[in-house]
Amino acid sequence: VAARLMGQGLLAAAQCLAVVSPFYFYQVSFQLGWCQKHGEALGNGTDPVEFRAEIDKMRFGWCEGSPLVPKVYRFIQASYWDVGLFKFYKASQVPNFLLAAPIWSCSLFELSEAIRDALPGDSWGAKLGAIKSLVSDRQDYELFVLCLHWVLMLAVSVLIMNVQVSTRFLSTCAPLYLITARLTGKKDKKAHLVWVVRFFALYGILGCLLYPNFLPWV
């Protein structure tokens, strides 16, 4: 079990590195190709005081950071999109929170069902045994890992990002559809599932009508 978990961890780390590297090197190229070259160009024939003021002004924004730790995209998100911990929690954003509420509710409901199915029992001993059996079942294990990723994405959408794109953001989670399909076989969950399916249908229909007509939709 430990060896398999370690192997899965190394594989996940390699996959994350493959995903993040292009984005990181793009920011590094911006830092080197624009910020430093622009700073060098300003130094040619510029009054030292003006040069220092311009550099300080430039570094306050786009070029804050270093080539190893660029902050270009973070500056854009924080300055123009209000991305940050609780930065979207304003009275003016209440309509956007209402737009995000259905997908948040759906995610919480389905995640709670998935975790309850994966880790049955009330005691820690029972849950530990469930984890051991979960690791040995490849299909359930992979679904559980995807659910943990879903939890992280849900936390980011609630706490940090601009909430009006939460539906688009969380709809990329594969377990959202896999668990919905599983719940169709549970008679005691059909009342809840009806609302989930209605939300899917309503969102899809309204999206097809509003989005291509450049009307507000996420």
User: pLDDT class for 175, splitting at 50, 70, 90?
Assistant: confident
Summarize the confidence of residues 169-182 as an average pLDDT.
Answer: 88
pLDDT of residue 136: 64
* Top-confidence range, 78-82, 156-160, 172-176: 156-160
Please count the structural domains in the chain: 2
Tell me, what's the pLDDT at 79? 78
pLDDT band at 17 (very low <50, low <70, confident <90, very high): very high
Assessment of whether the complete model's pTM goes beyond 0.75: no
Which DSSP string do the residues of 71-102 spell out, in sequence order? -HHHHHHHHHS--STTTT-SGGGHHHHHHHHH
- Residue pair 62/104 in contact (Cβ under 8 Å)? The answer is no
- Does 156 reside within a domain? yes
- The verdict on 65 and 101 lying in the same domain is no
Indicate left, alpha or beta for 45 from its phi (over 0: left) and psi (-120 to 50: alpha): left
User: Do 64 and 134 share a domain, yes or no?
Assistant: no
Q: 171: which 2 tokens? A: 């709809």
**Residue 164 domain boundaries:** 91-213
